[in-house]
Amino acid sequence: MNILIVNNSKLPVIYYGGTERVIWYLGKTLSRLGHKVSFLVAQGSTCDFAEIIERNPELDVIDQIPAAIDLVHFHFTPKGVEKLQVPYLITIHGNPNPVELLDKNAVFVSENHAIRHNAEAFVHNGLDWDDYGNPQLDNKRSYFHFLGKAAWRVKNVKGAINTTLKLKGERLHVLGGSRLNIKMGFRFTWQPSARFYGMVGGEEKMNQLKHSKGLVFPVRWHEPFGLAIIESLYFGAPVFGTPYGSLPELVNQDIGFLSNSSTKLSEAMAHCQDYNPKTCHDYAATHFNAEEMTKAYLNLYENVIQGKEINRNIPQTIAVDTPKFLDWVK
């Protein structure tokens, strides 16, 4: 199959970029399975397993689709996609604006994500764990961690810090933000027990995760997927988060605890040693790898090429009145 993968950003991601890593691993695995893969992406991209076609930002992306493509896989919704004469899919990675018109061939990244948009098609994200090295599950674990864009209030880094503070002598490493934030309103976090490491990636992130007692993830929105969850689990760290979005789908009682109560989460964190690092690791490695993700996408590719519907209805946001911040009990 000749597959074109389209995105706005540059590949490969050098330091940080969850969606870009998923796209990269999808293309790499498709190529390994014998498919011809091309990327239509930002200028300056390079790849040793697929052809790079540099996007011209001055032209509509639809007008830059080459001939002899069997399927186009977009990772954003392009203007005029309904005019495309080639079979296509569109993966929705985030929570779209409630008034945004979605496409009939939209694919979501968790079952909850799909259900909230009146759809059926979803594929869980997967990573190429070979790039993550040896997780060293018997490491000494001496702190908890938060992983995500701390500047986003819905990620609730303040809740993660305050929950950890309820445990005497515990520390929280914040991976994905700084103590002073002026980009999204002036905010300064003074708690000395919270250490900020900025946007981390590569070896630095792996070293942080392999020494962590657990991920503290009290999000206050419906998380579409959450790569932070599966990355943490891979390194043997259980997940302590809120029961919103994909979390009940990804986190079972053997690998973490979910509650919208800070007190209940801290009580569970106090017993973090009850969670087996190998159980956490094996769960992530088995269920959320690039091969499983790619096989699921290939099944959808075949359906679309054959003219089958992947969603019974045109997807749309169902709960348009959902509050901006979901409940969080301090």
> What tens-digit pLDDT sequence spans the chain (330 residues)?
999 999 999 999 876 778 999 999 999 999 999 999 999 999 999 999 999 999 999 999 999 999 999 999 999 999 889 889 999 999 999 999 888 889 999 999 999 999 999 999 999 999 999 999 889 899 999 999 999 988 889 999 999 999 999 999 999 999 986 655 545 554 545 566 788 888 888 889 999 999 999 999 999 999 999 999 999 999 999 999 999 999 999 999 999 999 999 999 999 999 999 999 999 999 999 999 999 999 999 999 999 999 999 999 999 988 766 788 999 999
Whether 121 contacts 91, CB under 8 Å: no
Q: Which two tokens stand for residue 213?
A: 């007692």
Domains 2-127+291-305 and 131-286 in one fold: yes
Helical pair 262-269 and 157-165, crossing angle rounded to 10 deg: 60
CA distance 187 to 291: 41
Find the distance separating the first CA and the last CA of the chain, reported in whole Å: 52
Q: Does the domain formed by 131-286 have CATH 3.40.50.2000?
A: yes
Task: List pLDDT tens digits, range 202-216.
Answer: 889 999 999 999 999
CA distance 179 to 268: 26
Following CA atoms 76, 81, 84, 86 in sequence, which dihedral angle do they give, to the nearest 10 degrees?
A: 30
Q: What is the pLDDT of residue 210?
A: 95
Task: List pLDDT tens digits, range 171-202.
Answer: 999 998 665 554 555 454 556 678 888 888 88
CA atoms within 13 A on the CB side of 323: 6
Dmax of the chain from CA atoms?
63
Whether 221 contacts 260, CB under 8 Å: no
Give residue for tokens 């929105």.
Answer: 221
> What are the residue ranges spanned by the domains of the chain?
2-127+291-305, 131-286
Distance set, CA 166 to CA 155, 162, 193, 268 (Å): 19, 7, 11, 11
What is the pTM for the complete model shown? 0.93
Assigned fold of 2-127+291-305: Rossmann fold (3.40.50)
